[in-house]
Amino acid sequence: MTQQDKPAAPSQAILASRRKFMSMAGLGGAAAASTLAAPAVVRAQSPIRWRLQTYSGAPLGAHVIKPQIDAFNAAANGEMEIELYYADQLVPTGELFRALQNGTIDAVQSDEATMASPVDIAVFGGYFPFATRYSLDVPALFHYYGLNEVWEEAYAEVPGITWLSTGAWDPLHIFTREPIRSLADMRGKRVFGVPTAGRFLSRYGLIPVTVPWDDVEVGLQTGQLDGVAWCGFTEAYEVGWADVCNYALTNSLTGAWFGSYFANTQSWERVPPHLQQLFRTTIDQSHYYRNVWYWGGEARLRVEGEKMELTALPAEEWNQVSADAVGFWEEIAGSSPRAQRVVQAFRDYTQMMEKAGYPYR
């Protein structure tokens, strides 16, 4: 049997089906151009040019940002062009906020915690323990439980930054070289991850480590890192971390994180209204695309993916983690009146979903 004749591994087949979705989601290639392209118009003498940097490396960026930027550039009809840069290509990820504020870059896709945003709600960007269970929780919280207003208010106090939109990204699992079967197994494990989740998990002895995104795989191979607490199954398989991690902890700290788009205010105000609307529209389509891409891969890769052994914490220990999160919520709520409003929105939403019952929970 030749290499070409060998059947694809389950994970390869699953990932291929996820990639196929890109060509059908209205955010890739000709589909995007035909869906979004404006009629031919007389173009400005020189197009508006932006530089946008994402938190993600190139393999992940192929799904979470590149289709949107390609679609926008095609539909902008020569009036505007966005140059896309991946994690750490222009500035280190931890310096994204300052670089955006001073105009070094024009736009950013990231969560607040990862990009070191100085607002008092930054702790909620990324993974806030047990705040969400499903991807639809995030837009529901923003549109119906007041978080849009909270985010707009917070960034109105920050010179030079315009917050544009927040969407749901993947769940948080822990993938490691050695197994985690109890809370004691977390002690001393060095993991790459999102700051808020790392802050919470450090109470169990997990050690958050910050390295450039492109160095994570090498760090796992060399032993500099013991694992990642950064993403879900879809992402771990797509970017190659499932190839260097042996175990996947099925207990999910959060069902979906908060990821946002930001613009330098002066850069944003120089964009005419119709292109501002086009950018917002492609952001919304990107939120939709990544929700389906993540959701469609998580369960299948957990069940059919062959690269990592699944582990789980004992029920009593996981119940303890859940109880500890209540205290963490209280701690964060006391940090500012605005943080209190966000935590109260989480409480109200959780109570509503519990009362609603099946099929919502």
| b (16+ CB within 10 A) / e for 4-42 | eeeeeeebeebbeebeebbeebbbbeebbeeebeeeeee
75: tokens are 């539909």
Going by the DSSP 8-state scheme, the letter that residue 108 receives in this structure is: E
**Which residues, at least 6 apart from 120, have a Cβ–Cβ distance to it below 8 Å?**
154, 335, 336, 338, 339
Q: Tell me what pLDDT residue 20 has.
A: 61
- Percentage, residues of the chain above pLDDT 90: 75
Give the other-Cβ count within 10 Å of 340's Cβ: 14
Compute the distance between CA of residue 105 and CA of residue 84 in angstroms, rounded to an integer.
10
- 152 forms beta bridges with none
| pLDDT band, very low/low/confident/very high, at 3 (cuts 50, 70, 90) | low
Same domain, 274 and 160: yes
Same domain, 188 and 163: no
Give the other-Cβ count within 10 Å of 353's Cβ: 15
Residue ranges with strand state E in the chain: 48-54, 80-85, 107-110, 161-168, 172-176, 190-193, 207-209, 227-231, 247-254, 258-264, 309-311
**Which residues, at least 6 apart from 178, have a Cβ–Cβ distance to it below 8 Å?**
185, 189, 226, 246, 247
Q: Does 2 fall in a domain? A: no
Q: Could you tell me the CATH number of the domain that includes residue 224?
A: 3.40.190.170
Q: What is the rounded average pLDDT for all residues in the chain?
A: 90
Q: Tell me what pLDDT residue 187 has.
A: 97
Average pLDDT over residues 219-247: 95
Q: At what angle do helices 315-333 and 337-356 cross, to 10 degrees?
A: 140
Q: Tell me what pLDDT residue 2 has.
A: 53
336: tokens are 């500012």
Same domain, 179 and 271: no
DSSP string, 152-172: HHHHHTSTTEEEEEEEE---E
Same domain, 206 and 117: no
Q: Does 11 fall in a domain? A: no
Q: Tell me what pLDDT residue 25 has.
A: 53
Compute the distance between CA of residue 218 and CA of residue 216 in angstroms, rounded to an integer.
5
Q: Does 234 fall in a domain? A: yes
Compute the distance between CA of residue 166 and CA of residue 187 in angstroms, rounded to an integer.
33
Task: Collapse the DSSP code of 302 into the 3-class scheme (helix H, G, I; strand E, B; otherwise coil) and give the result.
Answer: helix
Average pLDDT over residues 5-21: 65
Compute the distance between CA of residue 96 and CA of residue 89 in angstroms, rounded to an integer.
11
DSSP string, 135-152: TTHHHHHHHHSSHHHHHH
Q: Tell me: pLDDT of 42 over 80.
A: no
Q: Tell me what pLDDT residue 15 has.
A: 67
Q: Tell me: pLDDT of 21 over 80.
A: no
Q: Tell me: pLDDT of 251 over 50.
A: yes
pLDDT digits (tens, 9 = 90+) for 24-36: 555 544 344 444 4
Q: Say how many residues make up the chain.
A: 361
| pLDDT band, very low/low/confident/very high, at 297 (cuts 50, 70, 90) | confident
Q: Does 361 fall in a domain? A: no
Q: Does 9 fall in a domain? A: no
Same domain, 199 and 345: yes
Helix (H) or strand (E) holding 16: helix 10-24
**Which residues, at least 6 apart from 9, have a Cβ–Cβ distance to it below 8 Å?**
306
Q: Tell me what pLDDT residue 12 has.
A: 73
Q: Tell me what pLDDT residue 40 has.
A: 46
Same domain, 33 and 104: yes
pLDDT digits (tens, 9 = 90+) for 92-135: 999 999 999 999 999 999 999 999 999 999 999 999 999 999 99
Average pLDDT over residues 190-218: 93
Same domain, 155 and 73: yes
Q: At what angle do helices 137-144 and 337-356 cross, to 10 degrees?
A: 120
> How many domains, the chain?
2
Same domain, 91 and 217: no
Compute the distance between CA of residue 325 and CA of residue 309 in angstroms, rounded to an integer.
27
Q: Tell me what pLDDT residue 294 has.
A: 86
Q: Tell me what pLDDT residue 163 has.
A: 98
Helix (H) or strand (E) holding 361: none
Q: Does 119 fall in a domain? A: yes
User: Are 230 and 192 contacting, i.e. CB atoms less than 8 angstroms apart?
Assistant: yes
Average pLDDT over residues 42-71: 89
Domain range for 71 is 16-126+134-168+258-299
Same domain, 143 and 62: yes
Same domain, 240 and 186: yes
| pLDDT band, very low/low/confident/very high, at 194 (cuts 50, 70, 90) | confident
- Percentage, residues of the chain above pLDDT 70: 88
